[in-house]
Amino acid sequence: MYAAPPIQKLLDELERLPGIGPKSAQRIAYWLLNADRAVALRLSEAIAEVKESVHFCARCFNYAQDELCEVCRSVTRDPQIICVVSEPRDIPPIERTAMFSGLYHVLGGALSPMEGIGPDDLNINALLQRLATEEVGEVLLATNPNVEGETTAAYLARLIKPLGITVTRLASGLPVGGDLEFADEVTLGRAIESRRVL
């Protein structure tokens, strides 16, 4: 035992965080010990506050401080298009593109027979409810381009198309700025399959 117990406790808790190993935990712990009291307490309080005050948006299941999330409360968003994502954490990257101005719907996961996650475990009924009551012209399926995400997208497409709503999917292809040389064959195959006329 060479760290005072409160320091060891902090190290233990920091090491639970994703991407934080023993060395990073140590660096952060000593930084906090060295930091202004106010700076450290702001972090402590921000963590507590996020657990107190953040819950799921009643409409789209994004994280929200009020009943509805920032996106659902905005009057400038286009309610005719809903982007369906697996998790709330998928929303910030889409927002950063500034290419989407519609609303969201968070499924809370993806279909996975392996992990026993079926349609009833996701916010799919709530989505169908929204499609029945809101005037939606397009549903953009933005689940991840992996097995579970593709399965979920295919399942939702089968459910939603009969409602006369346009169903779209994020394009697959080469990452912008990437090298052909280093592209995996599945991605490159998709890029060829989905080639555009110039």
Name the minimum Å distance from CB 121 to a second copy: 15
Angle, helices 22-34 vs 5-15, to 10°: value is 130
Q: What residues form DSSP beta bridges with 141?
A: 84, 169
Could you tell me the smallest distance in angstroms from the CB atom of residue 64 to a second copy? 6
φ and ψ of 68, to 5 deg: -105, 150
User: Least distance to a second copy from the beta carbon of 42, Å?
Assistant: 5
Closer to a second copy by CB, 27 or 161: give it: 27
Give whichever of 18 and 162 is closer to a second copy, judged by the CB atom: 18
Helix, strand or coil for residue 107? coil
Do residues 160 and 131 make contact, with C-beta atoms less than 8 angstroms apart? yes
Residue (86 or 152) nearer to a second copy, CB: 86
Shortest distance in whole angstroms from residue 132 CB to a second copy: 27
| 83 and 104 Cβ atoms separated by less than 8 Å | yes
Asked if 111 and 122 touch (Cβ cutoff 8 Å), the reply is: yes
Q: Which is nearer to a second copy, 4 or 147 (CB)?
A: 4
Report the SS3 class of residue 42. Answer: helix
**Interface ranges with a second copy (CB under 8 A):** 1-7, 9-10, 12-14, 16-20, 24, 26-33, 37, 39-54, 63-65, 69-71, 87-89, 91-92, 95-96
